[in-house]
């Protein structure tokens, strides 16, 4: 099969038009989704008793504290790349609940600043890992959401109802 450069250019052009048309709506929807998972993570980190920050469901898994640190460090790395100010919260070096909760809040503030810095013109600009700035924020949301699912298991194993399940009537399951 021969490479057809006209088709490739047409596909690339059409893709760019689609990104431009969707960015304004995408910003608002992505920010709303991120705000939801950001709030759930903050509540989760605060709900877990300090003595359970060293809890591991299995020997191969991270402790709950390491999971919180991982999310905080990844958020800071990705979101600071978007806003153009490389920042780190160094959460992996922390073990105390108060320090990890603070690092998570700080990384969330870095992400809020990244969303605030994004415009239609800058959304498609290169960020890192071969992704645009908007794609980095989408990746961060997906990663935080996935890790929240893991964190929910830690809470449930310790008899704590995860924030996203609480208040749903019944026993919050």
CATH code of the domain containing 135: 1.20.120.450
Q: DSSP readout, the chain?
A: ----HHHHHHHHHHHHHHHHHHHHHHHHHHHHHHHHHHHHHHHHHHHS-GGGTT--SSTTSPPHHHHHHHHHHHHHHHHHHHHT------GGG--SHHHHHHHHHHHHHHHHHHHHH--HHHHTSEEETTEEHHHHHHHHHHHHHHHHHHHHHHHHHTT---TTTTTSSTT--
Number of domains composing the chain: 1
Average pLDDT, the chain: 85
Identify whether 7 is part of a domain. no
173 falls within a domain: no
pLDDT value for 167? 73
Span 6-45, pLDDT tens digits:
443 333 333 443 444 455 566 788 899 999 999 999 999 9
1 belongs to a structural domain: no
The answer as to whether 169 is a domain residue is no
pTM of the model: 0.82
Per-residue pLDDT reduced to its tens digit, 121-166: 888 888 888 889 999 999 999 999 999 999 999 999 999 999 999 8
- Is 55 within the bounds of a domain? yes
Give yes or no for residue 54 having a pLDDT over 70: yes
Residue 141 lies in a domain: yes
20 is a domain residue: no
Domain that holds residue 38: 25-157
């Amino acid at each position: 099969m021969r490479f057809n450069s006209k088709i490739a250019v047409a596909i690339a052009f059409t893709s760019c038009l689609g990104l431009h048309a969707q960015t304004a709506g995408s910003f608002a929807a992505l920010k709303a989704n991120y705000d939801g998972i950001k709030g759930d993570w903050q509540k989760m980190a605060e709900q877990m008793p300090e003595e359970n920050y060293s809890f591991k469901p299995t020997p191969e898994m991270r402790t709950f504290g390491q999971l919180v640190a991982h999310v905080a460090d990844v958020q800071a790395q990705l979101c600071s790349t978007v806003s153009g100010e490389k920042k780190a919260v160094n959460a992996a070096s922390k073990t105390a609940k108060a320090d990890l909760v603070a690092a998570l809040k700080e990384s969330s503030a870095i992400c809020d600043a990244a969303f605030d810095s994004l415009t239609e013109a800058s959304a498609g600009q290169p960020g890192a890992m071969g992704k645009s700035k908007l794609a980095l924020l989408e990746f961060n949301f997906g990663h935080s959401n996935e890790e929240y699912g893991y964190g929910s298991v830690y809470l449930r194993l310790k008899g704590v109802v995860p924030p996203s399940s609480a208040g749903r009537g019944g026993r919050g399951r």
